[in-house]
Structure 1
Amino acid sequence: MATDPVTVPVPRRSKDYGKLEYGCDHYRRRCKIRAPCCDKIFPCRHCHNEAANSSSNPKDHHELVRQDVNQVICLVCDTEQEVAQVCSNCGVNMGEYFCGICKFYDDDITKKQFHCHDCGICRVGGRDKFFHCQRCGSCYMIELRNNHICVEDSMKTFCPICYEYLFDSIEGTRILKCGHTIHFHCLTEMTTKNQYRCPICLKAVLDMTSFWREMDMEIQVTTMPEEYQFEVSILCNDCNTTSNTQFHILGHKCKQCNSYNTRRIATRGRPNNTQTS
């Protein structure tokens, strides 16, 4: 006849015992979680998601809903128990930071974690440094209050570079001038490869004024042959206006905002050597 497992009593520990000594690549914490979706034990939800989504069988791919976790295992005394900050058996804090809503533990409180009720999840960086934008649907740095273009639910989408879901990503994000959002490290990698346009709307993500001045000088000293001296119609990605300008192999300047972030949409007239049938 089967019997329930017996919890072996251990000496009571101080709440700080083992702090920062346990955890995984994602978090320092003194517990593991039992995933209710597959009844397996993992150091954290990210470890679960990485394991589940790397399975060779697509049917096994799934994400752990953090709020559904109800059982954790203390790493100090190996006791499985209901979600709580303090281990019921040995008395340690299983996480110096604990959120009973997100079922989230972390010993590294230098991150300044806080729970945002509007987001419904925990954030890092300090509650006093962030505000929640109701239209964008996420927390942003205080400096962006009344100083950003709102895009409805802009964070509840995927990074246009790496395609990771942005809303609950542990990577830092950056809101662009156009209002779209991208991982900070993806933006850095993009700009080091001279890609300066938002991958979604094609607007410039940086102040390109000095670069446009360099383009002006390059075009001024680079004369096009007579057969290429004709006008083209262009659409500016930055100000969304159309205009006509002289064709040039190096680029086409918007007459409205002086940007070279433009697209050619039509040729006005024909090159001198073009024939019709």
Structure 2
Amino acid sequence: MEISFQLKMSSEESLMELGYGDFGCSHYRRRCKIRTPCCDEIFGCRHCHNESKNSMEVDPRHRHDVPRHELKRVICSLCATEQDVSKNQYHCNECGICRTGGGENFFHCSKCGCCYSNLLKDSHKCVERAMHHNCPVCFEFLFDTTRDITVLRCGHTIHLECVKEMERHFRYSCPICLKSYCDMSQVWGKLDQEVASTPMSQMYDNKMVWILCNDCGESSEVNFHVLAHKCPKCNSYNTRKTRGGPASYSPGISQMM
């Protein structure tokens, strides 16, 4: 463990130090380069381009300055990521890659191992290496994806458009831990009405089953019902039968919507 920790620290320190001494150019000490729109070449800055393209070795007919207001691409000197200049990109040393949105708008969570919006700084639930896995819906690796990501209540991460696709199919629980990721009180109210209007036959009056609540994690013994089983602790119907009672299949939330 000590060796692996030292190796990890060494790699992080080398990444942090990369570019601090020998980076940028003689004009600017920064860890990015530009791709010029006129030549489609990479330079440290516009002055580097102008000095190179206006030197005595260049044919006078081909000498020119870079149209600096037309610059559209910037390249990170640390991870070589090339991006549009209009996305407020920044390099996160802890992540080891460039991200967009402006460094002042994000913070890096060491336990989750990724950057989050400052809006989540006091409310997000830490999940070990939260984005170092594939999206549970489309299976694209989340850590370096260019698509929008959302953090569910449980702390797990998923593409925003994948959540919207789940909602179109009436799926409102995390695909990883099965916890509800939005306010389901209205749906549970509808299920209360459905259960109350669907009495079980007399033979099941005293039939009990054990359930596990996916939302609060409590196990409880409740009366068997063919439609759904309600958690007596948090009133959630996001439950599953663990033992007892006849084999049954709950119609699920989708049929209650």
TM more than 0.5: yes
Match for 1:115 among 91, 106, 123? 91
Relative to total residues, which structure has the larger helix share, 1 or 2?
2
- 1:84 touches 1:100 (CA, 8 Å); kept in 2? no
AA of the residue aligned to 1:226? Q
* 1:77 equivalent in structure 2: 39
d(CA) in 2 for partners of 1:188, 1:233: 33
Structure 1, gaps ≥5 residues long: 1-71, 271-277
Cα distance, 1:227 vs structure 2:
3.2
2:195 to 211, 214, 219: 219
C-alpha contact 2:113 2:129 (8 A) present in aligned 1 = yes
Is the Cα contact below 8 Å between 2:224 and 2:245 reproduced in 1? no
Unaligned runs of 5+ in 2: 1-33, 54-63, 248-257
- The alignment-based identity, stated in percent, is 43
Alignment correspondent of 1:174? 150
Change (3 A) 1:166 1:98: same
Q: Counterpart of 2:216?
A: 239
Give the alignment of 1:173-192 within 5 angstroms: 173-192=149-168
Equivalent residue number for residue 155 of structure 1: 131
Q: CA deviation at 1:75?
A: 6.0
Deviation at 1:85, TM superposition (A): 4.8
Q: What displacement does 1:99 show? A: 2.1
* 2:218 corresponds to 1:256: no
Query: How many Å apart are 1:78 and its aligned residue?
Result: 5.3
Q: Is the 8 A contact 2:37 2:72 kept in 1?
A: no
Residues matched between the structures, number: 197
Matched, 1:204 2:152: no
Give the one of 89, 92, 100 matched to 1:124: 100
1:54 alignment counterpart: none
Task: Assess, with a 3 A threshold, how the Cα gap between structure 1 residues 171 and 263 changes in structure 2: closer, same or farther.
Answer: same
Which is worse superposed, 232-241 or 92-101? 92-101
| CA-CA distance at 1:257 after TM superposition | 0.8
Q: Which amino acid aligns with 2:163?
A: L
Q: Please state whether the residue corresponding to 2:163 is helix, strand or coil.
A: helix
CA distance in 1, matches of 2:81, 2:148: 19
Mapped to 1, the partners of 2:184 and 2:131 lie a distance apart of 25
Q: Where do residues 20-99 of structure 1 align in structure 2 (5 Å cutoff)? A: 76-77=38-39, 84-86=44-46, 87=49, 88-89=52-53, 91-92=65-66, 95-99=72-76
Give yes or no for contact 1:151–1:179 (8 Å, CA) kept in 2: yes
2:27 is matched with which residue? none
Provide closer, same or farther for how the CA distance between residues 203 and 212 of structure 1 changes in structure 2, counting only shifts above 3 A. same
RMSD value, Cα: 2.6
Q: For 1:60-97, what per-residue CA distance to the aligned partner results, in whole angstroms no more than 9, with x for missing partners? A: xxxxxxxxxxxx98663355x6x645455465366454
Residue identity in the other structure for 1:177 = R
Equivalent pair of 1:231/1:246 in contact (CA under 8 Å): yes
| Structure 1 residues 184-203: Cα deviation after superposition (integer angstroms, max 9, x where no partner) | 11111111211111111111
Distance verdict in 2 for CA 1:74–1:96, change over 3 Å: closer
> What TM-score does the superposition give when structure 2 sets the normalisation length?
0.69
Aligned to 1:103: 80
Whether the 8 Å CA contact 1:155–1:167 is kept in 2: the answer is yes
2:169 is aligned to 193
What TM-score, normalized to structure 1?
Answer: 0.64
